[in-house]
Amino acid sequence: MKGTIVAQLTEEQRQLIEKIGIFHEQQGFPPATGRIMGLLFVSDKPGLSFEEILETLNISKSATSNALNMLLQMRVIEYTTFPGDRKRYFSVLLDNWHQEVINKMESILGFSKLLRQANEMRGNVNPEMNEKVLERIEFMEFLSKEVPALMQKWLKERQK
């Protein structure tokens, strides 16, 4: 089975994997993490083994292992095993994206609370900065309230 995924990828798929990888890097993730996400989204196989990921992306064992562990911990991917096969097959966790959006909103709300504390700590020494930070806080709080409502609206419309 060695190299089977590599041989199946088109140049267009390889470029898309790289673009997805770069996107994730710009979000602060290590390069291998984004490229693994790209591969899992692009692959037509329901799951890829550690070896398939490693060989296809041509990354080190440690980079592959670290990236997979990070993605598992973040609950962005999952793995499946099969009786008689010791390998784990990794795939994108697609069923939890609604919760992922809600979690991001909670994170944004948590950060807005920290910014509010910073504004209070700073006092009135820099009112222009306080106003700009407050605007950001208010928008983040607005988002954290509106996105769950938008999600519900979208889900209802989708069921029609």
Average pLDDT, the chain: 91
CA 102/CA 98 separation, integer angstroms: 6
**In this structure, are residues 134 and 113 in contact, taking their beta carbons and an 8 Å threshold?**
no
Q: What angle do CA 112, 20, 29 make, to 5 degrees?
A: 50
Q: How confident is the model at residue 8 (pLDDT cuts 50, 70, 90)?
A: confident
CA 20 to mean position of chain CA atoms: 10
The pLDDT of residue 2:
44
Structure-model confidence comparison of residues 99 and 121, the more confident one: 121
**What pLDDT is stored for residue 7 in this prediction?**
60
pLDDT of residue 94: 86
pLDDT tens figures, 37-91: 999 999 988 899 999 999 999 999 999 999 999 999 988 899 999 999 999 999 9
The structure's pTM equals: 0.75
Beta-bridge partner residues of 90 = 48, 79
Q: What distance in Å separates the CA atoms of residue 136 and residue 46, rounded to the nearest whole number?
A: 41
SS3 content of the chain, % helix, strand, coil (to 5): 70, 10, 20
Mean pLDDT computed over 16-42? 95
Categorize the per-residue pLDDT at 101 as very low, low, confident or very high, splitting at 50, 70 and 90: confident
**Tokens encoding 20:** 């997805």
pLDDT at residue 33 greater than cutoff 80 = yes
User: Distance between CA 6 and CA 111 in Å, rounded?
Assistant: 41
